[in-house]
């Protein structure tokens, strides 16, 4: 079992690392820069941030990279995001098929997947879905950017459409989207792109099948994703609306828009912001931390623990408290394998955050507890929101954040699998039992 699962995990890890190194080389070439120089470590940081679609940056993208440099970043984002969506959808399929017959039966009952898709058709569909959405998004953004009077509106529209759909959150403006904080059109287009990217391909495949009359209702996974995304963004919006002093002075409509946008940006892990993260209240930091840890949905471009894992854990808690014999969700039994994977993900996630924070606390004396906590959770969730300390990190701090972004993108579980030492065989094991 180990070799079967560790093999693809290692392949995935080396694939990502190769892609990052390619990006690093391209960003280090002089032709990617204007008159500014960016250090090797900062170029690596940006390359990792782009490939992992995090959006954290130690330098300002808009001023430190020229048009060619920005195109390189955009390509890294596009294929980082697209590759992740394809691979994670595949992984989702793989995990759900690489099982014993009995397990597979129960799992298939709980998470029905499109059986009628060949791999080639599947990849074509994902690519088509991605580019179609991005073109529609870029067109809409272009109109709103022109209306607003943005310079280079076309380039800005293309860049931010891709950056939003891939939940990368890279912005060409040093203040992210704070200058557009009252522009409903721009923020809603960005939100739609981010949510589409973060909910991912399973939803779209299901919607298409339903639309084409091949299915009478959404599949189980789609239902869970839709329900959880709505609850998380809705609840987050409400809490920010009520608890954040910074938005209290705004007119109700703009207050709602700002609250929604900030909850959306944390939950989808896109990571744009229209309010300054370093001035928000601790209560809202708490809300954003929770949303960032839970993260987006599987088979999308977003990061985090994933809404489906969170749903499985909620089902587990409810079932245990209600004393049920089996864990059920939406009237379906969730198999123990799923629960164990979700619990493992949570444990690995917490472990990564604790270890990274311990290192960051040792290397960054100047930064506050919550700024570093926020930075670490944001990096591991590939969100990219920050208290603005990214550029001030020490070299060791930057390397720690780079590590978190890579682990966050590969998925804590995939990463763990890639590094896991194969278990001893059954024979060796029973030998040990005898010896002890």
User: Which spans of this chain sit near a copy of itself (rule: CB under 8 A)?
Assistant: 1-2, 4-6, 239, 243, 281-283, 285-287, 290, 313-314, 316-317, 320-325, 327, 331, 336, 339-344, 346-348, 351, 354, 357-358, 361-362, 368-370, 372-373, 413, 416-417, 420-423, 429, 432-433, 436
Tokens of 25: 């080389």
In the complex, least distance from residue 322 CB atom to a copy of itself, rounded to whole angstroms = 4
The smaller minimum CB distance to K ion, of residues 43 and 54, is found at 54
Q: How far apart are CA 131 and CA 403, in angstroms?
A: 30
270, 167 contact by CB (below 8 A) = yes
236 binds K ion (CB under 5 A): no
271 binds K ion (CB under 5 A): yes
295 binds K ion (CB under 5 A): no
Q: How far apart are CA 98 and CA 37, in angstroms?
A: 48
In the complex, least distance from residue 269 CB atom to K ion, rounded to whole angstroms = 5
Surface-to-core class of residue 235, CB atoms within 10 Å of its CB (0-12 exposed, 13-18 middle, 19+ buried): middle
367, 281 contact by CB (below 8 A) = no
φ and ψ at 129, to 5 degrees?
-55, -45
Distances from the Cα of 265 to the Cα of 67, 83, 305, 327, angstroms: 26, 21, 15, 31
83 binds K ion (CB under 5 A): no
In the complex, least distance from residue 72 CB atom to a copy of itself, rounded to whole angstroms = 35
27, 47 contact by CB (below 8 A) = yes
In the complex, least distance from residue 352 CB atom to a copy of itself, rounded to whole angstroms = 12
**What is the size of the binding site for K ion (CB under 5 A)?**
5
The smaller minimum CB distance to K ion, of residues 114 and 169, is found at 169
In the complex, least distance from residue 144 CB atom to K ion, rounded to whole angstroms = 21
Tokens of 416: 């763990």
Choose the contact partner of 384 out of K ion, a copy of itself, none; CB within 5 to 8 A by kind: K ion
**Cα angle 177-178-184, degrees, rounded to a multiple of 5:** 70
The smaller minimum CB distance to K ion, of residues 164 and 352, is found at 164
242, 261 contact by CB (below 8 A) = no
Choose the contact partner of 169 out of K ion, a copy of itself, none; CB within 5 to 8 A by kind: K ion
370, 12 contact by CB (below 8 A) = no
In the complex, least distance from residue 106 CB atom to K ion, rounded to whole angstroms = 34
Restricting to residues 157-196, name those near K ion by CB under 5 A: 169
H or E stretch covering 332:
strand 332-333
The smaller minimum CB distance to a copy of itself, of residues 136 and 346, is found at 346
* Residues near K ion, by CB under 5 A: 54-55, 169, 271, 384
């Amino acid at each position: 079992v180990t070799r079967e699962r560790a093999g693809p995990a290692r392949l995935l890890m080396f694939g990502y690392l190769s892609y990052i190194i390619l990006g690093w080389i391209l960003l280090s070439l002089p032709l990617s820069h204007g008159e500014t120089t960016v250090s090797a470590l900062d170029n690596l940081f940006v390359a990792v941030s782009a490939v992992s679609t995090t959006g954290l940056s130690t330098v300002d993208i808009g001023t430190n990279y020229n048009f060619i440099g920005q195109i390189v970043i955009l390509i890294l984002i596009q294929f980082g995001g697209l590759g992740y969506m394809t691979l994670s959808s595949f992984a989702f399929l793989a995990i759900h098929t690489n099982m014993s017959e009995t397990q597979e039966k129960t799992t298939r009952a709980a998470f029905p997947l499109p059986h009628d898709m060949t791999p080639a058709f599947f990849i074509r569909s994902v690519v088509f879905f991605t580019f179609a959405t991005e073109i529609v998004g870029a067109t809409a953004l272009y109109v709103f950017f022109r209306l607003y009077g943005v310079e280079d509106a076309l380039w800005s529209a293309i860049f931010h459409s891709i950056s939003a759909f891939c939940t990368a959150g890279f912005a060409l403006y040093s203040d992210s989207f704070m200058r557009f904080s009252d522009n409903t059109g721009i923020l809603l287009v960005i939100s739609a792109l981010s949510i589409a990217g973060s909910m991912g391909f399973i939803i779209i495949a299901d919607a298409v099948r339903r639309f084409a009359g091949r299915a009478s209702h959404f599949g189980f996974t789609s239902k869970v994703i839709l329900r959880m995304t709505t609850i998380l963004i809705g609840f987050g919006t409400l809490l920010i609306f009520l608890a954040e002093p910074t938005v209290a002075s705004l007119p109700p409509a703009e207050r709602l828009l700002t609250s929604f946008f900030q909850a959306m940006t944390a939950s989808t892990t896109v990571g744009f912001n229209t309010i300054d993260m370093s001035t928000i209240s601790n209560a809202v930091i708490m809300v954003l931390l929770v949303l960032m840890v839970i993260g987006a949905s599987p088979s999308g471009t977003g990061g985090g623990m994933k809404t489906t894992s969170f749903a499985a854990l909620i089902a587990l808690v409810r079932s245990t408290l209600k004393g049920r014999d089996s864990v059920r969700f939406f009237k379906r039994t969730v198999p123990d394998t799923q629960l164990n994977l979700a619990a493992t993900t949570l444990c690995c996630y917490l472990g990564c955050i604790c270890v990274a924070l311990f290192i960051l606390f040792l290397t960054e004396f100047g930064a506050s507890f919550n700024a570093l906590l926020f930075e670490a959770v944001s990096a591991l969730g590939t969100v990219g929101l920050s208290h603005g300390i990214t550029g001030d990190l020490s070299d060791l701090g930057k390397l720690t954040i780079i590590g978190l972004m890579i682990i966050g993108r590969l998925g804590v579980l995939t990463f763990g699998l890639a590094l896991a030492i194969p278990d001893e065989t059954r024979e060796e094991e029973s030998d040990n039992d005898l010896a002890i």
